[in-house]
Structure 1
Amino acid sequence: MGTNLYSALGESSEYVQATQNVPGQLTPVMVISPEDGVGLRLLNNVAMGEKTGLPIYGKFVDTDGNPLPINTTVAIGYKSPTDKNINVVSEEFQTIQSYLKKSITQQQDTDNIDSVKHVLGSSSLEVRDIDEAYLLVKSTKQVDPAACEFYLEQSAVEEVDIE
Structure 2
Amino acid sequence: MSLSLYAALGDSSKYVETETNVTDQLTPVLSINPKDGVGVLIRNAVDMGNKVGLPIYAKLRDTDGNPLPADTRVALGYQAPTDESIQVVSDPKSTIASYIKNSVSDQQDDRKVDAVKHQLKGEKLEVRDIDEAYILVDSSEPIDHAQSEIYFEEAALAEVDLE
Q: TM-score range by the shorter chain?
A: over 0.9
State the secondary structure of the residue aligned to 1:41.
Answer: strand
Post-superposition shift, 1:122? Answer: 0.6
Matches within 5 A, 1:13-162: 13-162=13-162
Cα distance in 2 for partners of 1:73, 1:2 equals 29
What is the RMSD of the two structures over their aligned residues, measured on CA atoms? 0.7
TM-superposed CA distance for 1:85, in Å, is 0.5
Report the AA paired with residue 66 of structure 2. Answer: N
* Unaligned segments of structure 1, at least 5 residues: none
1:158 & 1:64 partners in 2: Cα distance?
35
- With the length of structure 2 as denominator, give the TM-score of the two structures: 0.99
Residues paired across the two proteins, number:
163
Q: Any idea what SS the aligned residue of 1:22 has?
A: coil
1:78-106, Cα deviation, whole Å (9 max, x unpaired): 00000111000000000000100100000
Aligned counterparts of 1:154 and 1:126: Cα–Cα separation in 2:
15
Alignment partners' CA distance in 2, 1:11 and 1:26: 23
In the TM superposition, structure 1's runs of 4+ consecutive aligned residues that sit over 4 Å from their partners are none
Q: Is the 8 A contact 1:46 1:52 kept in 2?
A: yes
When normalised by structure 1's length, the TM-score is: 0.99
What's 1:3 paired with?
A: 3
> Identity over the aligned pairs, expressed in percent?
56
Determine if contact 1:6/1:16 at 8 Å carries over to the other structure: yes
Q: Indicate the SS of the match to 2:136.
A: strand
Letter in 2 for 1:22: V
Query: CA offset at residue 141 of structure 1?
Result: 0.3
Shift of residue 63, structure 1, vs aligned partner: 1.3
